[in-house]
Structure 1
Amino acid sequence: MEDTKSAKVWLRIFAAGYLVCCALLLTSLFTPIPYGDLTRIGRISEREFGWHEPPPPIPDADVKTWPINEADILVIGDSFSVRYAWQSALVGAGYKMTTTHWDNLGGVVCGDFSSWLEKSGFKGKVVIIESIERLLEDRIQKSESCATMKHAFKPTPPPFENPAKPAPGFQLNWDAELLSGWYTYHNTKAILASDSWTNTPERWGPLIDARVVPDGCKQFSHHACDKLLMTAEDRVNPALSVKSARFMKSFETTAAPYKVVWMVVPNKSTVYLQQNHADEFRAAFNPQNIGPDLFALAEQNRFKVMDLFPANETHVSTRGYILFGQRMLEAVRQVFPPPAAKSQ
């Protein structure tokens, strides 16, 4: 009799555990697959933070690269450049471009930069150095003390698919971990209930911030449009300095006879929450005429371009890439007319 009672207890425990696991599995299966890097890393709901505005097209023919010895323009950039999205504006205007990542150079540009370009086979005239605001200060500091480029040129290949792809439709999340749906529900609920939330895993430290954004629903298409996700690096990393702006100007001499155009992409938090975050840097950078003011461009267009920076992404949207690409095209044309124009 006692054995039967014990068996029933264990059976109930097993059944309860089984039902809990089934509930967790179903929750994870029906949690939308994250397509933004912030929602994926932070396990945050795409239902609440996924963008909905369809992106404008980018012609496949403009998502293209050339060997370095055939390129008119060399791009040194980070993850904002590896999608070949903003470059499409210049390719469409007739420029041949090749792109490499900062990581391929060890994260620095050094004192022998011009000779490195020559040894790499670059026969063009313009180098665009792109960096997101939050990482540029560190890159500049390391470059200031670097005398010799230690890595051979290595191109970054174009993406396998057009960067102007629409948001994916719903699919069962078969690759999800058992608890991912629960974590997504828990984190999203906490964000919606708070004005200031940070995802801080013990192993990594602060990763993602969620903050209330003024007039958010006039700027974003996601459901929880009064809240915005950002990488915590925007807040944690050092601000750009006047000293860095001066180095960027002096690098003109280092890179001669090649022309360097700097492309500084503003942080998401700078665009929407702390518009004065880089004011000292901009005051030194802008009069030097070494690159366009993308901070001002973003500020002028954040209400005009819905989802300029989508809530679920650290990067700009397709519309943002096109906007920045057109501005970079204007900047390049000032120093290097497109080949088509020269041949007329």
Structure 2
Amino acid sequence: MTLEVVNTFDVRPIFREAGYLLSGLNWTLEFAAALRVPLRSAEIGIQGPCPDVTLKHASNHYLLLECKKSSFGASSSTALQAQKLLIVGSDMGPSTGNSTSIPATVTYVMPEDQLAAQLETLSQLRSHLVEVGFPCADYSTIGISWDGEGIWLRFSCPSDHHLHTVLEEPQLVIKSPPGERPLYIIPYDPSVTQDEEEKQYCLTQLSQRLHTAAWSEIGRANVPSMLNLYGDRLLNIATYGAFDYWRGSDRKNYENKAIQVLASTFKGVAQKHHIVRQASNPNHLELDLSTEVNRDIFLDCLHKANPASRVGGFTETQEELNLGLTS
């Protein structure tokens, strides 16, 4: 909802309308140095939290979005992460390399019927942290509901908040009729726990998009040439530009896994024609496009591929795939 491309998919870019742009995904934030001793003393720890989504407003205000299936209590294990978010959100300066204080709002996104309980938890946690001397960010919630028209968002925040102008009332943000799944910008995130059916669906969606991205790259390449398919570029195409903002420590692993998906698809081509090479760096493949015949071989391979059968690239190791590529 911050990317321009979503207008193509009946998605209202409501955060962009409010002046927020995507700043980071899975970005590990940093505490101010002066807080490290009290953080240790309070047994909160100095490892910074990693919100699901970080948005930045044109006014230099940040929104730290954390998505949950349900609310949680102030004494639950999840509450530690919430405490860290409230503290680190009081000043984004250390995380952004800025010496001036930069505010953020910690915002939990969850089903609408969970909001009242979540607001109570955030109120308790913030009150406790302030009482023991920690600086704290403001907090808010965004409730998600789904009806016959699609997905709606309801925002609870102070009236002077940037989002209040566009989310003062519940807003339809994704048109999605009953029985249809909404668009998944990033279909699969290895750090998110999913039931097996949903996981397989998401893996298949991502695998299908990676195949489409590879088709585009091969189709537009010059012949003769050696074409390098890079995991980061393919993932960026597959996620409509969102992967550019992925700041998680697993980024490289994600890139390598994407290449494993395609390497698995091209395994037969590699063994029969010897026109695929896995480079020493596992984040890309080299394709021999010395002739138009070779290009057609690759495109035919992608055309016949079943994306659902290639999802193992994201769940198996390179050795387990036993690709048999030339080196």
Shorter-chain TM range is under 0.3
Q: Which has the higher contact order (CA 8 A, sep 6+)?
A: 1
More strand by percentage: 2
Give 1 or 2 for the bigger CA radius of gyration. Answer: 1
TM-score after normalising by structure 1? 0.26
TM-score after normalising by structure 2? 0.27
